[in-house]
Structure formats: structure tokens, C-alpha cells
């Protein structure tokens, strides 16, 4: 009777698969946490710290001074964006629409993280915006808000308190909530 020996793969050759599987599991966990934060309504004032008072000023690509202090009694929506960011550009029509719809109670202010004021001006000349957009090329305002990704929107209530920070896809729901709470 002949005996056949079945060779097994050495355990060392399977190690990379275990490492890949472990990394994938960690990414799934992190993704789940991120997704649950987004689906639950984004970040709120309870889990975002704002170093400033909710008030800031800057200069648009057209050289005009814009200050959130110029809109007393209004809720401020800050749109952190850039012309080179496809999701930011895609959300611009909705931002324009919401500014027009809520113009009596709300003022939108864009904060552009473009590389040059010229890029911003050329884009706005071509596509327009119904609200002012400050050029924040050095990221000073974005750093105050802890912005790490764009597009990000922040809602500041009439008392200067940060009430919401997250993606623009949940903006209208959260804006209505802030307006209804006064």
C-alpha cells in the first residue's frame, strides 16, 4: 500500500493574510463609528469644541470685508469649501437655494480654502453664489473650527453658539431644528 504525504503550507506564509484581515476589521470598526456619527445627525456642540466665539471676519476674493458680526439676530451657516472639491461644488446649488429660502432668518457665509483668491474669483464669476465667500487661503478660520475635511458646514445660532457641524447633506434638517428651537 502506498502512502501519500500531503504537504501543508507553513504557518509563516499565512501571517500576511491574518494581518490584512485584522487591518480590514479595524477599518470596518472605524467606518462604522464614522457612519453612525453622520447618520445620527453629524457632530453637535456637545462633541465639537470651537475655540472662537462663532464670530469671525475675512475678505472675499473681490476685496470686500465680511464679518459674521454684521448679521445680528441671524443664524449663521458657515460653508467650508473649495473650488477644487467636487462634492463642495455639487452642494453649491443647494446652499444657494437654502440661502434664498431662509434669507430672513439665516445668513450663509462661505469660507473658501482655495489655493488662490484668483481661483475663487474666477469660479464665482462663472457659477455665482447667493452669499459671500471669504478667501481663507492660510486656513486661519478653518483651523479655529477644527476643519479637517471639506465640504463641512457649521450652524451658529443667534447667541454665537455652535449648534451643528457636519456634511452639507444634513444641513437643512439641522437648520430647521436650530430655527425651531429659537
In a domain, 1, yes or no: no
| Cα separation, 150 vs 130, whole angstroms | 20
Q: What is the mean pLDDT of residues 20-47?
A: 44
Using one digit for the tens of pLDDT, what is the confidence trace for 129-170? 899 999 999 999 999 899 999 999 999 999 889 999 999 988
Q: Let me know: does 44 contact 164? Beta carbons within 8 Å.
A: yes
Q: Which residue has the cell 428651537?
A: 181
pLDDT in the model for residue 21: 58
The tally of domains found in the chain comes to 2
Residues 102 and 145 in one domain: yes
> pTM of the full predicted structure?
0.71
pLDDT in the model for residue 128: 86
In a domain, 143, yes or no: yes
In a domain, 3, yes or no: no
Amino acid at each position: 500500500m502506498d502512502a501519500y504525504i500531503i504537504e501543508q503550507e507553513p504557518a509563516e506564509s499565512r501571517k500576511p493574510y491574518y494581518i490584512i484581515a485584522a487591518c480590514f476589521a479595524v477599518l470596518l470598526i472605524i467606518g462604522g463609528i464614522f457612519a453612525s456619527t453622520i447618520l445620527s445627525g453629524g457632530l453637535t456642540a456637545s462633541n465639537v469644541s470651537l475655540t472662537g466665539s462663532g464670530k469671525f471676519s475675512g475678505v472675499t476674493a473681490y476685496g470686500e470685508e465680511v464679518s459674521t458680526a454684521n448679521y445680528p439676530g441671524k443664524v449663521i451657516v458657515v460653508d467650508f469649501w473649495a473650488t477644487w472639491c467636487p462634492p463642495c461644488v455639487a452642494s453649491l446649488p443647494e446652499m444657494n437655494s437654502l440661502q434664498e429660502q431662509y434669507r430672513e432668518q439665516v445668513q450663509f457665509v462661505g469660507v473658501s480654502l482655495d489655493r488662490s483668491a484668483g481661483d475663487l474669483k474666477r469660479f464665482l464669476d462663472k457659477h455665482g453664489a447667493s452669499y459671500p465667500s471669504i478667501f481663507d487661503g492660510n486656513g486661519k478660520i478653518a483651523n479655529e473650527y477644527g476643519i479637517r475635511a471639506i465640504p463641512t458646514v457649521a450652524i451658529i445660532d443667534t447667541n454665537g453658539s455652535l449648534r451643528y457641524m457636519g456634511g452639507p447633506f444634513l444641513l437643512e434638517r439641522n437648520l430647521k431644528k436650530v430655527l425651531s428651537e429659537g
